Amino acid sequence: MYINAIGHYLPSEVVPNSYFKEVNGLSDEWIFQRTGIKERRKASAEENSNSMAISAISNTVASICYPIEEVDLVVGATYTPYDTVGTIAHVVQRHFDITNAAALTITSACSSLINAIEIVEGYFAMGKATKALVVASEHNTYYSNDSDEKCGHLWGDGAAAVFLSKDRLSETDMLVEGVVTHGLGHIGRGPEGVLLLPKECGIVMPYGKDVFVNACTFMIQGLKELLDAKGLSFGDLDYIVPHQANMRIITQIASMLDFPLEKIFANIELFGNTGCGSTAIALSQNKDKFVKNDLLGITVFGGGYSSGAMLVRV
């Protein structure tokens, strides 16, 4: 399985930490010290998770070497849907006139992107698809409660698109060397760790410490599982691309692995937690840094709980 192209979209409105001083009393210094976030992007009133997905694809489609109409599988990923019936995948299929594709949208919180790519791997293995489009889009600010002192300041909006093929189609394609996901609902606080109950409350995180501990543990475990299977170690990775949940999680992972922090992509300072799209957004932003044969380790953790990891060879 190969990645043919990757791109992203971020809304133009910037929300600085100073905004939260007025709504929940938290200062810029307090937020930055505990999260690593300085600002985040917010979708406009005319935008939603579907429209941001379309924008991410529009920013990416020129980079593929085949017409988008040849895509035969569209997988959307989100936990902040605009419509739970006319989902991201279906809206994308219609907008880009992708007439001969299976279309589905999945959610496994912030690990949804890797779950979606694993679904693509399965379709390819079964011979049911040869070209796929995965699009991850989160409209966190639509569901977040800014006045929530525990997590109202964490969330940002954004989307990313990843085109994949069963076979190599161009010299610039990146090889997916391995994908793994795990359901972890039985671990720690599990489904209680992070909640989004649309008719009752926005996104809340009542057990942040439990999320932190398990994220650090399982984001490392997922990558280790893939590396062990290939007889590799963390020292063989050129870069790590972690889910952008909290800078303290990222620095803790770097410390636990004795891995150079400068080789770990982080965009949380400017964009906050962009949910399941965060790793793909970070990859897209840094793709010009890659050189041939670089090995990338992508690793994620989601509320619920769930985890996932992927190895990509440039």
237-to-170, 227, 232, 293, 295 alpha-carbon distances in Å: 24, 9, 9, 10, 5
**pLDDT recorded at residue 199:** 87
What pLDDT, on a 0 to 100 scale, did the predictor assign at position 24? 87
Sign of the four-CA dihedral 252, 274, 174, 128: positive
What is the rounded average pLDDT of the residues 48-73? Answer: 98
Q: What is the pLDDT of residues 82-98, one digit of tens each?
A: 999 999 999 999 999 99
Collect all residues with Cβ–Cβ distance below 8 Å to 246 and sequence separation of at least 6.
Answer: 34, 35, 36, 154, 212, 268, 273
Instruction: Give the DSSP letter of residue 186.
Output: T
Q: DSSP label at 96? A: T
Cis peptide before 9 (omega within 30 of 0): no
* pLDDT for the residue 173: 97
What CA–CA distances, in Å, run from 289 to 192, 238, 286, 296?
A: 39, 11, 6, 12
Q: Helix (H, G, I), strand (E, B), or coil: what is residue 113?
A: helix
State both tokens at 177: 């060397």
**pLDDT reported for residue 241:** 97
List Cβ neighbours of 46 (8 Å cut-off, separation of 6 or more): none
Q: Which domains does the chain carry?
A: 2-165 (3.40.47.10), 174-313 (3.40.47.10)
Share of the chain above pLDDT 70, in %: 100
Percent of the chain with pLDDT over 90: 95
Per residue in 225-274, pLDDT (tens digit) is 999 999 999 999 999 999 999 999 999 999 999 999 999 999 999 999 99
Average pLDDT of every residue of the chain? 96
User: The tokens of 224 are what?
Assistant: 């280790």
Neighbour count for residue 197 (Cβ, 10 Å): 10
For residue 56, the model assigns a pLDDT of 98
Q: How confident is the model at residue 8 (pLDDT cuts 50, 70, 90)?
A: very high
- Per the DSSP assignment, residues forming a β-bridge with 102 are 73
Q: What pTM did the predictor assign? A: 0.95
Those residues whose C-beta lies under 8 Å from the C-beta of residue 10, and which sit 6 or more positions away, are 41, 157, 158, 271, 281
Sign of CA dihedral 99, 120, 48, 6: negative
Q: What's the confidence (pLDDT) of residue 149?
A: 87
pLDDT of residue 143: 95
Q: Is the pLDDT assigned to residue 127 strictly greater than 90?
A: yes
User: What does the pLDDT read at residue 60?
Assistant: 98
Interval 12-26 mean pLDDT = 94
Task: Render pLDDT for 134-148 as a digit per residue (tens, 0 to 9).
Answer: 999 999 999 999 988
C-alpha R_g of the chain:
18
